[in-house]
Amino acid sequence: MLATLSVKLRSWTSALAVALAILGGLAGAVLLGAAALYLTRVLIGGDSGTVRSSDLVGVFGTVITRIPADGLGEVVLPQSGSRIKLAARSHEPVPAGVPVYVTEVLSATSVAVQRADFGTTDVKELLP
């Protein structure tokens, strides 16, 4: 009888050890996954790519589609390590290929720009 009890006790503790090992492994995997997600968002920036005024005002870009006076054209701007293309408005005509800087974000898809004058080194001097 003692031998039977000993076998039952061993099988029960083995089952408990396996169950605890599985639960511990799952908890560790969840924690590791959460840490990887957090670090990925921190390193990449965690931004959804939404254009915000604070991000683009003063940023230099290039006109890719001619901007007529008080009309719309297109510019390409650097943002978060990539290039974004936005509609652009200017008070003066700006031909394609000309460097510009953003003076205002008009919407999530358009900005106001002005020709960049590289005679100055301070971007704040270029802003109205």
- Partner residues linked to 102 by β-bridges: 113
Given this model, what pLDDT does residue 56 score? 83
Given this model, what pLDDT does residue 38 score? 85
Given this model, what pLDDT does residue 4 score? 61
Given this model, what pLDDT does residue 116 score? 86
CATH architecture of 53-126: Beta Barrel (2.40)
Give the integer Cα–Cα distance in Å for 105 and 100. 14
Using 50 as the pLDDT threshold, list the residues of the chain that sit under it: 5, 121, 123, 126-128
Burial of 110 per CB tally in 10 Å (0-12, 13-18, 19+)? middle
Give the integer Cα–Cα distance in Å for 85 and 76. 4
Given this model, what pLDDT does residue 128 score? 47
Three-class SS of residue 66? coil
Which pTM does this prediction carry? 0.53
Given this model, what pLDDT does residue 89 score? 93
Map out the domains of the chain as residue ranges: 1-46, 53-126
* Token reading at 77: 């701007």
**44-69 pLDDT, tens digit each:** 765 555 555 567 888 899 999 999 98
Phi first, then psi, for residue 88 (nearest 5°) are -135, 145
Given this model, what pLDDT does residue 55 score? 74
